[in-house]
Protein backbone atom coordinates (compact mmCIF):
# COMPACT_ATOMS: atom_id res chain seq x y z
CA UNK A 1 0.00 0.00 0.00
CA UNK A 2 2.76 2.41 0.97
CA UNK A 3 6.13 2.60 2.66
CA UNK A 4 4.70 2.64 6.19
CA UNK A 5 1.04 1.58 5.96
CA UNK A 6 -0.42 -1.45 4.25
CA UNK A 7 -3.82 -3.10 3.99
CA UNK A 8 -3.98 -6.89 4.30
CA UNK A 9 -7.23 -8.80 3.81
CA UNK A 10 -7.84 -12.24 5.29
CA UNK A 11 -11.24 -13.95 5.65
CA UNK A 12 -13.17 -10.71 5.35
CA UNK A 13 -11.01 -8.71 7.78
CA UNK A 14 -8.93 -5.88 6.41
CA UNK A 15 -5.98 -5.07 8.66
CA UNK A 16 -4.49 -1.61 8.30
CA UNK A 17 -0.94 -2.11 9.59
CA UNK A 18 1.36 0.70 10.63
CA UNK A 19 5.00 -0.18 10.09
CA UNK A 20 7.26 2.76 10.86
CA UNK A 21 9.57 1.54 13.62
CA UNK A 22 10.42 2.11 16.31
CA UNK A 23 7.32 4.05 17.45
CA UNK A 24 5.08 4.36 14.36
CA UNK A 25 5.42 8.15 14.43
CA UNK A 26 2.64 9.61 12.32
CA UNK A 27 4.44 11.95 9.94
CA UNK A 28 2.79 13.50 6.90
CA UNK A 29 3.54 10.50 4.71
CA UNK A 30 2.01 8.07 7.21
CA UNK A 31 -1.08 10.27 7.48
CA UNK A 32 -1.62 10.20 3.74
CA UNK A 33 -0.96 6.46 3.56
CA UNK A 34 -3.59 5.97 6.29
CA UNK A 35 -6.04 7.95 4.15
CA UNK A 36 -5.27 5.75 1.13
CA UNK A 37 -5.63 2.55 3.18
CA UNK A 38 -8.97 3.72 4.59
CA UNK A 39 -10.28 4.46 1.10
CA UNK A 40 -9.11 1.07 -0.15
CA UNK A 41 -10.78 -0.71 2.76
CA UNK A 42 -14.00 1.20 2.13
CA UNK A 43 -14.08 0.33 -1.56
CA UNK A 44 -13.09 -3.35 -1.31
CA UNK A 45 -16.23 -5.54 -1.06
CA UNK A 46 -14.11 -8.37 0.33
CA UNK A 47 -13.37 -6.25 3.42
CA UNK A 48 -16.29 -6.63 5.82
CA UNK A 49 -14.56 -5.26 8.93
CA UNK A 50 -11.30 -3.44 9.67
CA UNK A 51 -8.60 -3.68 12.34
CA UNK A 52 -6.09 -0.85 12.75
CA UNK A 53 -2.91 -2.34 14.23
CA UNK A 54 0.53 -1.01 14.98
CA UNK A 55 2.16 -4.34 15.72
CA UNK A 56 3.11 -6.26 18.83
CA UNK A 57 5.13 -3.48 20.50
CA UNK A 58 3.44 -0.14 19.87
CA UNK A 59 0.29 1.24 18.30
CA UNK A 60 1.49 4.78 17.54
CA UNK A 61 3.33 7.13 19.86
CA UNK A 62 2.08 10.29 18.20
CA UNK A 63 3.00 12.74 15.50
CA UNK A 64 6.55 13.10 14.24
CA UNK A 65 7.50 16.07 16.41
CA UNK A 66 10.63 16.73 14.38
CA UNK A 67 8.30 18.00 11.64
CA UNK A 68 6.72 20.48 14.05
CA UNK A 69 10.00 22.17 14.96
CA UNK A 70 10.24 23.67 11.48
CA UNK A 71 6.53 24.09 10.71
CA UNK A 72 5.31 27.67 10.61
CA UNK A 73 1.83 28.97 11.33
CA UNK A 74 1.38 29.59 7.62
CA UNK A 75 2.42 26.01 6.85
CA UNK A 76 0.04 24.51 9.41
CA UNK A 77 -2.94 26.58 8.31
CA UNK A 78 -2.61 24.72 5.01
CA UNK A 79 -1.83 21.32 6.52
CA UNK A 80 -4.14 21.19 9.57
CA UNK A 81 -7.32 20.33 7.67
CA UNK A 82 -5.56 17.56 5.73
CA UNK A 83 -4.19 16.13 8.98
CA UNK A 84 -7.66 15.98 10.50
CA UNK A 85 -9.27 14.57 7.36
CA UNK A 86 -6.68 11.78 7.09
CA UNK A 87 -7.82 10.46 10.47
CA UNK A 88 -11.44 11.18 9.58
CA UNK A 89 -11.03 8.84 6.61
CA UNK A 90 -10.62 6.02 9.15
CA UNK A 91 -13.72 7.15 11.04
CA UNK A 92 -15.75 7.24 7.83
CA UNK A 93 -15.04 3.66 6.75
CA UNK A 94 -18.65 2.42 6.56
CA UNK A 95 -17.80 -0.90 8.19
CA UNK A 96 -17.01 -2.00 11.75
CA UNK A 97 -13.53 -0.72 12.69
CA UNK A 98 -11.52 -1.62 15.80
CA UNK A 99 -8.15 -0.37 17.00
CA UNK A 100 -5.87 -3.09 18.39
CA UNK A 101 -3.60 -1.18 20.77
CA UNK A 102 -0.30 -2.36 22.18
CA UNK A 103 2.34 -0.25 23.90
CA UNK A 104 1.57 3.42 23.43
CA UNK A 105 -1.32 5.26 21.78
CA UNK A 106 -0.36 8.86 22.43
CA UNK A 107 -1.21 12.14 20.73
CA UNK A 108 -1.98 11.36 17.12
CA UNK A 109 -1.89 7.67 18.00
CA UNK A 110 -4.69 8.16 20.49
CA UNK A 111 -6.59 10.25 17.94
CA UNK A 112 -6.23 7.44 15.41
CA UNK A 113 -7.67 5.01 17.96
CA UNK A 114 -10.52 7.43 18.71
CA UNK A 115 -11.43 7.40 15.00
CA UNK A 116 -12.26 3.69 15.29
CA UNK A 117 -15.56 2.26 16.52
CA UNK A 118 -13.93 0.31 19.35
CA UNK A 119 -10.58 0.01 21.07
CA UNK A 120 -9.01 -3.26 22.27
CA UNK A 121 -6.19 -2.31 24.63
CA UNK A 122 -3.25 -4.34 25.92
CA UNK A 123 -3.17 -4.66 29.69
CA UNK A 124 0.16 -2.80 29.78
CA UNK A 125 -0.72 -0.11 27.23
CA UNK A 126 -0.70 3.63 27.85
CA UNK A 127 -3.03 6.11 26.17
CA UNK A 128 -3.14 9.89 26.26
CA UNK A 129 -3.15 13.30 24.61
CA UNK A 130 0.14 14.92 25.71
CA UNK A 131 0.11 17.77 23.18
CA UNK A 132 -0.33 20.40 25.94
CA UNK A 133 3.22 19.64 27.06
CA UNK A 134 4.42 20.90 23.67
CA UNK A 135 2.36 24.07 23.91
CA UNK A 136 -0.24 22.58 21.57
CA UNK A 137 -3.64 20.91 21.65
CA UNK A 138 -4.80 17.76 19.83
CA UNK A 139 -5.28 18.67 16.18
CA UNK A 140 -6.57 15.51 14.52
CA UNK A 141 -9.90 15.09 16.28
CA UNK A 142 -8.79 14.55 19.86
CA UNK A 143 -10.67 17.45 21.47
CA UNK A 144 -13.86 16.47 19.68
CA UNK A 145 -13.91 12.66 19.64
CA UNK A 146 -12.49 12.24 23.14
CA UNK A 147 -15.12 14.56 24.64
CA UNK A 148 -17.90 12.71 22.85
CA UNK A 149 -16.56 9.37 24.02
CA UNK A 150 -15.70 9.98 27.70
CA UNK A 151 -17.52 13.25 28.38
CA UNK A 152 -16.19 16.81 28.44
CA UNK A 153 -14.92 16.82 32.03
CA UNK A 154 -12.79 13.70 31.61
CA UNK A 155 -11.61 14.88 28.20
CA UNK A 156 -10.50 18.20 29.71
CA UNK A 157 -8.65 16.35 32.46
CA UNK A 158 -6.68 14.29 29.95
CA UNK A 159 -6.08 17.13 27.48
CA UNK A 160 -5.28 19.87 30.04
CA UNK A 161 -2.88 17.63 31.99
CA UNK A 162 -1.41 15.68 29.10
CA UNK A 163 -1.23 12.67 31.41
CA UNK A 164 -1.27 9.05 30.27
CA UNK A 165 -3.88 6.54 31.42
CA UNK A 166 -3.33 2.82 31.85
CA UNK A 167 -5.59 0.10 30.49
CA UNK A 168 -7.68 -0.19 33.66
CA UNK A 169 -8.49 3.52 33.74
CA UNK A 170 -9.10 3.57 30.00
CA UNK A 171 -11.65 0.77 30.41
CA UNK A 172 -13.29 2.47 33.39
CA UNK A 173 -13.82 5.80 31.64
CA UNK A 174 -14.87 4.29 28.32
CA UNK A 175 -11.71 5.02 26.35
CA UNK A 176 -11.15 1.25 26.00
CA UNK A 177 -13.79 -1.35 25.21
CA UNK A 178 -11.80 -4.50 25.96
CA UNK A 179 -8.52 -5.21 27.72
CA UNK A 180 -6.40 -8.24 26.85
CA UNK A 181 -2.84 -9.47 27.40
CA UNK A 182 -0.54 -7.80 24.88
CA UNK A 183 0.09 -11.03 22.99
CA UNK A 184 -3.67 -11.51 22.52
CA UNK A 185 -4.71 -8.00 21.50
CA UNK A 186 -4.93 -8.66 17.77
CA UNK A 187 -6.86 -11.92 18.19
CA UNK A 188 -9.21 -10.21 20.62
CA UNK A 189 -9.87 -7.56 17.99
CA UNK A 190 -10.58 -10.31 15.45
CA UNK A 191 -13.08 -11.90 17.84
CA UNK A 192 -14.76 -8.55 18.36
CA UNK A 193 -15.46 -8.02 14.64
CA UNK A 194 -15.99 -11.66 13.65
CA UNK A 195 -19.78 -11.59 14.29
CA UNK A 196 -20.16 -8.85 11.64
CA UNK A 197 -18.31 -10.56 8.79
CA UNK A 198 -21.40 -12.37 7.51
CA UNK A 199 -23.87 -9.75 8.67
CA UNK A 200 -26.05 -7.45 6.54
CA UNK A 201 -23.35 -5.08 5.26
CA UNK A 202 -25.73 -2.35 4.11
CA UNK A 203 -27.62 -2.36 7.41
CA UNK A 204 -24.34 -2.19 9.34
CA UNK A 205 -23.30 0.72 7.14
CA UNK A 206 -26.61 2.47 7.81
CA UNK A 207 -26.35 1.87 11.54
CA UNK A 208 -22.88 3.45 11.66
CA UNK A 209 -24.02 6.40 9.56
CA UNK A 210 -27.04 6.88 11.80
CA UNK A 211 -25.08 6.91 15.04
CA UNK A 212 -22.09 8.94 13.85
CA UNK A 213 -24.11 11.38 11.79
CA UNK A 214 -26.70 11.85 14.51
CA UNK A 215 -24.04 12.98 17.00
CA UNK A 216 -23.64 16.20 15.03
CA UNK A 217 -27.40 16.90 14.84
CA UNK A 218 -30.13 17.93 17.22
CA UNK A 219 -32.64 15.23 18.17
CA UNK A 220 -35.22 16.13 15.55
CA UNK A 221 -32.68 16.13 12.74
CA UNK A 222 -31.13 12.89 14.04
CA UNK A 223 -34.51 11.17 14.09
CA UNK A 224 -35.20 12.31 10.52
CA UNK A 225 -31.77 11.03 9.45
CA UNK A 226 -32.48 7.68 11.12
CA UNK A 227 -35.87 7.41 9.39
CA UNK A 228 -34.29 8.07 6.00
CA UNK A 229 -31.64 5.40 6.51
CA UNK A 230 -34.20 2.95 7.91
CA UNK A 231 -36.52 3.37 4.92
CA UNK A 232 -33.65 2.95 2.48
CA UNK A 233 -32.90 -0.53 3.77
CA UNK A 234 -36.27 -1.70 2.47
CA UNK A 235 -34.69 -1.59 -1.00
CA UNK A 236 -32.05 -4.21 -0.08
CA UNK A 237 -31.96 -7.95 -0.67
CA UNK A 238 -30.71 -8.44 2.88
CA UNK A 239 -33.90 -6.90 4.30
CA UNK A 240 -35.95 -9.39 2.29
CA UNK A 241 -33.74 -12.27 3.42
CA UNK A 242 -33.66 -11.16 7.05
CA UNK A 243 -37.39 -10.71 7.45
CA UNK A 244 -38.20 -13.87 5.50
CA UNK A 245 -35.75 -15.94 7.52
CA UNK A 246 -37.29 -14.62 10.74
CA UNK A 247 -40.78 -15.65 9.64
CA UNK A 248 -39.50 -19.05 8.51
CA UNK A 249 -37.59 -19.52 11.77
CA UNK A 250 -34.23 -20.06 10.10
CA UNK A 251 -30.84 -18.36 10.12
CA UNK A 252 -30.57 -15.64 7.46
CA UNK A 253 -27.95 -15.81 4.70
CA UNK A 254 -26.97 -12.24 4.02
CA UNK A 255 -25.23 -11.29 0.80
CA UNK A 256 -24.43 -7.64 1.46
CA UNK A 257 -26.84 -6.46 -1.25
3-class secondary-structure state, position 18: strand
- Return the CA Rg of the chain: 19
Q: Which residues contact 44 (CB under 8 A, 6 or more apart)?
A: 7, 9, 14
Backbone CA torsion sign across 101, 106, 112, 114: positive
Out of 25, 63, 89, 125, the active site residue is 63
As to burial, measured by CB atoms within 10 angstroms (0-12 exposed, 13-18 middle, 19+ buried), residue 218 is exposed
Q: Which helix H or strand E contains 80, and what residues bound it?
A: helix 73-91
- Is 67 catalytic? The answer is no
* Active-site pick, 131, 140, 176, 210: 131
Instruction: Select from 153, 115, 154, 106 the least CA-distant residue to 134.
Output: 106
Q: Identify whether 63 is a catalytic site residue.
A: yes
Concerning whether 111 is annotated as a catalytic residue, the answer is: yes
List the catalytic residue out of 25, 38, 86, 111: 111
Find the catalytic residue in 14, 107, 108, 142.
Answer: 108
Phi, psi at residue 65, to the nearest 5°?
-65, -25
Residue closest to 84 by CA, chosen among 39, 139, 26, 41? 139
Q: Does the annotation mark 108 as catalytic? A: yes
Positions annotated as catalytic residues are 63, 108, 111, 131
Amino acid sequence: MGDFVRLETTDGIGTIRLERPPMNALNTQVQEELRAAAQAAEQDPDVRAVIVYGGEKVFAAGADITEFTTTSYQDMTVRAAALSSAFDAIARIPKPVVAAITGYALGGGCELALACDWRVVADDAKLGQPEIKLGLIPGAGGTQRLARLVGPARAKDLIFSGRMVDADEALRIGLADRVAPAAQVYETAVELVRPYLNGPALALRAAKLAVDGGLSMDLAAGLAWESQLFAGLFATDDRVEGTTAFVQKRKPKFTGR
